[in-house]
Amino acid sequence: MAGEGRTEGSGKSGQLDFPRPLTTVDVVIFAILDDRLQVLLVQRPAGEGEPFPLSLALPGGFVDVAKDRDLAACAARKLQEKTGVTSPYLEQLGSWGSATRDPRGWSATHAYFALVPTQASVLTSDARWCPISGGRLKEKLAFDHGDILATAIQRLRNKVEYTSLPAYLMPAEFTLPDLQRVYEIVLDRPLEKSAFRTRILSADMIEPVAKMRRGPNRPAQLYRLKKSKEPVYFVRTFNPPE
Amino acid sequence: MAGEGRTEGSGKSGQLDFPRPLTTVDVVIFAILDDRLQVLLVQRPAGEGEPFPLSLALPGGFVDVAKDRDLAACAARKLQEKTGVTSPYLEQLGSWGSATRDPRGWSATHAYFALVPTQASVLTSDARWCPISGGRLKEKLAFDHGDILATAIQRLRNKVEYTSLPAYLMPAEFTLPDLQRVYEIVLDRPLEKSAFRTRILSADMIEPVAKMRRGPNRPAQLYRLKKSKEPVYFVRTFNPPE
DNA sequence: ATAGTTAGTTGTACAGTCCAACTTACTTAG
DNA sequence: CTAAGTAAGTTGGACTGTACAACTAACTAT
C-alpha cells in the first residue's frame, strides 16, 4: 500500500505532496418502465484487481481530468455513454467518501440523479433496468451504492410530494391520468384525482396538444411539457404524508 | 504541471495510475448574531504558492486520509477546529469540482452547511463572523466559495420556508417571538404571528420551561427544543413565496 | 340498447394561512 | 395611583387548496 495515492508534487512549495483520495462520479438513473419505477444498473467488470467483480453497480467511474471540465459534465457524459440520452433532468444528489467504501483506498464519489423519459433510452450491453419494488431494490449493489440508491429514492419521493419532477419521466405526450399514475408509482400511494388535476393545471407547466388519447373508454386530452427549464414547486404537499 | 497529481500506482493492475483531483471539504457555518444572519469566514494564508492569499474563504481544507474516516467526520472536524462547537446541525450541501476552480489543478470540494446556536462559539484567531445583508455577502470570496455560499443561503431560505431548521440557530431557551424573529431574519420578510404560533406549537418540537422572559412589556413564555433528532417538515410553506 | 370503464366535473367539508382587531400583562411617566 | 405605551398572546372571519364522494361524459364491447 505504501505510496499509493501519493502525488509527486511538482509545485515549488511542495504542499500538495500528500495522498489524494480517488474521485469518482456515479449516476442514479430513473425511468418508468412496465408501470414501475426502475433504475439503471451495470455489471462490474471482472478484470484483475477489480473490486466487486460482476456485481451490480450504479453507472459511473473515475473523473477524467483531461476529458471532464467539471462534475456535472462528467455525470452527463456517463449518462450519455450508458443511455444515449443527452439532456434530461440531472440533479446533484450528494457525495459519499470514506476510507473503506472502496477496497482500493480512500475514495469519494459525487452522486447525481437523473430522470429520463420513458422509451428514450438506447442502452449499452452491460446496462439494464432493474425495478424498484416497495421503495427498495431486490439486488445487493457494489460499494455503498445501495446506500446511494436508497438516498436517491428517498429524495425522489420527497420531492415528488411537492414538485413537478415526474414530468421529466413522461414521454413527449401524455394524459393527466398518465401523469397521476407516475406520481402514484413513485409515491406508492393513490392520489386524489380532482385535487391532482387542479394542482397540475394551475401550475402552468403543461399545455394541451390538439389530440386525444383514444382507447376503449372516454378519450383523454393529451398534453406536453411546456419548455420551462425548472421544475415547479408547490406550496403544499399532497396528503398529510402520514 | 507535468506529473502533478499523478499517482504512483502500486497495485498489480496499475489501473489506478492516473491523475487524481484534489479533494477538499468546506463548511458554511451560519449563526444569528446582532439580529442578523452571519457566516463564518477565514482569511487565506499568505505563504508561497498559496492561492488567493489573504482573501476571505469558507473554512475547510484537504481531506486527510489518515485522520478523516469519512467526509462528514472531516466536516465535523473543521467545524470543531474553527468554532469549538461539536454537534449542531450539519448537512451536506453539495459538491463543486472543476478543472479551473483551484489554480493548483483539478479539484473537487464537498461542501457542508452547519447551523450553530447563538453565543456558543469560541473562534480561532483567523476566523470571523460576516453579516449577510439582503441575502448576499458584501465581500468577494476565494475560489468559487461565493457560489457555494450563495447556494447555502438559498438552500437555507428554501428549507426555512417549510422546516424547523431555525430551531438549531436558537440558544438553549427562547420565546416564540424570538424564534419568529429568526425565521424573519432568514427569510427577510415578516411572518404572520398567529399562523406562526399555531404551526410551531402544533409541530411538537418545543416544550415550555417553567420560566418567563421578563422585560419592559408583557412577559413571554420561554421554551426549549425537545431532544428530537430530526428537523420537522411542515406540509405547507408560509406565504405564497412570491 | 345496455353495461362497463375511464375521463373529467362538481359540491360540501375541512385544515391551515392571512388579516385585523382584540385582550392581557407588564413598565414607565406624570 | 392612574394613564399611556408596548409587546405577548388570542380570537374570528375571509380565503385557498386538499379530501371525499357523488356525479356527468364519452367511448367500447356485447
Listed range (A15-19, A73-77, A230-234, B27-31) with the worst mean pLDDT: A15-19
Q: Would you say A19 and B65 are in contact if contact means Cβ atoms under 8 Å apart?
A: yes
pLDDT tens digits along A124-180: 878 999 999 989 999 999 999 999 999 999 999 999 999 999 999 999 999 999 999
Residue A22 near chain B (CB below 8 Å): yes
pLDDT tens digits along B128-156: 999 999 899 999 999 999 999 999 999 99
How many Å apart are CA B161 and CA A22, to the nearest integer? 37
Task: Tell whether the model's pLDDT for residue A241 goes beyond 70.
Answer: no
Q: Which of B231-240 are b and which e, b meaning 16 or more Cβ less than 10 Å from the residue's Cβ?
A: bbbbeebbee
- The radius of gyration computed from the CA coordinates of chain B, to the nearest angstrom, equals 21
Q: What is the mean pLDDT of residues B39-57?
A: 93
Inter-chain contact A94–B92, Cβ cutoff 8 Å?
yes
Nucleotide closest to residue A196 (CA–C1')? D18
CA(A189)–C1'(D30) in Å?
34
Residue among B1, B50, B97 minimizing CB distance to A71: B97
Q: What is the mean pLDDT of residues B83-111?
A: 93
Query: In Å, how far are A33, A179, A217, A223, B226 from A220, measured between CA atoms?
Result: 21, 12, 9, 10, 50
Q: Which of B82-104 are b and which e, b meaning 16 or more Cβ less than 10 Å from the residue's Cβ?
A: bbebeebebbbbbbbbbbebbeb
Footprint of strand C on the protein (CB under 7 A): A 175-177, 193-194, 197, 215-221; B 191-195, 198-199, 202, 212, 214-219, 234-236, 238-240
> Which residue's C-alpha is at the least distance from the C1' of C9?
A194
Q: What is the pLDDT at residue A141?
A: 97
pLDDT tens digits along B186-198: 999 999 999 999 9
Best to test chain B binding among A24, A25, A64, A70 (most B CBs inside 10 Å): A70
Residue B94 near chain A (CB below 8 Å): yes
How many Å apart are CA B161 and CA B140, to the nearest integer? 27
* Average pLDDT of chain B to the nearest whole number: 90
Inter-chain contact A11–B235, Cβ cutoff 8 Å?
no
Nearest of A107, A234, A223, A60 to residue A164 by alpha carbon? A234
Q: What is the pLDDT at residue B6?
A: 44
Q: For residue B24, which residues of chain A lie inside 8 Å, CB to CB?
A: none
How many Å apart are CA A137 and CA A133, to the nearest integer? 6
Q: What is the pLDDT at residue A48?
A: 87
Residue among B1, B23, B48 minimizing CB distance to A20: B23
φ/ψ of A29, rounded to 5, equals -110, 120
Task: Tell whether the model's pLDDT for residue A10 goes beyond 60.
Answer: no
pLDDT tens digits along A198-239: 999 999 999 999 999 999 999 999 999 998 878 999 988 887
Q: For residue A15, which residues of chain B lie inside 8 Å, CB to CB?
A: 47, 49-50
User: Which domains can be identified in chain B, with CATH numbers?
Assistant: 22-159 (3.90.79.10), 163-225 (1.10.10.10)
DSSP B171-193: -SSEEHHHHHHHHHHHHTS---H
Q: What is the mean pLDDT of residues B64-91?
A: 90
Q: Would you say A41 and A58 are in contact if contact means Cβ atoms under 8 Å apart?
A: yes
Q: Which of B185-223 are b and which e, b meaning 16 or more Cβ less than 10 Å from the residue's Cβ?
A: bbbeeeeeeeebeebbeebebbeeeeeeeeeeeeeeebb
Q: For residue B62, which residues of chain A lie inside 8 Å, CB to CB?
A: 18
Which long-range contacts (C-beta less than 8 Å, at least 24 apart) are formed by B188-195? B188/B134, B188/B135, B188/B157, B189/B239, B191/B238, B191/B239, B192/B238, B195/B238
Q: Would you say B89 and B115 are in contact if contact means Cβ atoms under 8 Å apart?
A: yes
Residue A92 near chain B (CB below 8 Å): yes
CA(B216)–C1'(D1) in Å?
19
> Which residue's C-alpha is at the least distance from the C1' of D25?
A218
Q: Would you say B20 and A21 are in contact if contact means Cβ atoms under 8 Å apart?
A: yes
Q: What is the mean pLDDT of residues A42-53?
A: 92
Which residues touch B73 (CB under 8 Å, ≥6 apart)? none
Task: Tell whether the model's pLDDT for residue B4 goes beyond 90.
Answer: no
Q: What is the pLDDT at residue B241?
A: 52
What's the DSSP call for residue A12?
Answer: S
How many Å apart are CA B103 and CA B108, to the nearest integer? 12
Listed range (A89-93, A192-196, B65-69, B82-86) with the worst mean pLDDT: B82-86
Residue A210 near chain B (CB below 8 Å): no
Q: Would you say B156 and B7 are in contact if contact means Cβ atoms under 8 Å apart?
A: no
Q: Per the structure block, which three cell numbers stand in for B42? A: 477565514
pLDDT tens digits along A64-119: 999 999 999 999 999 898 888 876 799 999 999 999 999 999 999 999 999 999 87
Task: Tell whether the model's pLDDT for residue B233 goes beyond 90.
Answer: yes
Residue among B16, B21, B96 minimizing CB distance to A104: B16
> Which residue's C-alpha is at the least distance from the C1' of D29?
A216
> Which residue's C-alpha is at the least distance from the C1' of C27?
B216
CA(B192)–C1'(C18) in Å?
7
Best to test chain B binding among A95, A102, A236 (most B CBs inside 10 Å): A95
- How large is the angle between the packed helices A145-160 and A176-187, nearest 10 degrees? 130
Which residues touch B221 (CB under 8 Å, ≥6 apart)? B175, B176, B208, B212, B213
Task: Tell whether the model's pLDDT for residue A3 goes beyond 60.
Answer: no
Extended beta strands in A34-88, E state: 36-43, 56-57, 60-62
Q: For residue A112, which residues of chain B lie inside 8 Å, CB to CB?
A: none
Residue B240 near chain A (CB below 8 Å): yes
DSSP A77-121: HHHHHHH---SSEEEEEEEEEESSSSTTSSEEEEEEEEE--TT--
Q: List B residues 46-85 in contact with A (Cβ-Cβ < 8 A).
A: 47-50, 62-63, 65-66, 68-71
Best to test chain A binding among B65, B98, B161, B242 (most A CBs inside 10 Å): B65
Grid-cell match 459525487, residue found: A110
Task: Tell whether the model's pLDDT for residue B212 goes beyond 60.
Answer: yes
Inter-chain contact B108–A20, Cβ cutoff 8 Å?
no
Our measurement of the distance from residue A10's CA atom to the centroid of its chain's CA atoms, rounded to an integer in Å, reads 38
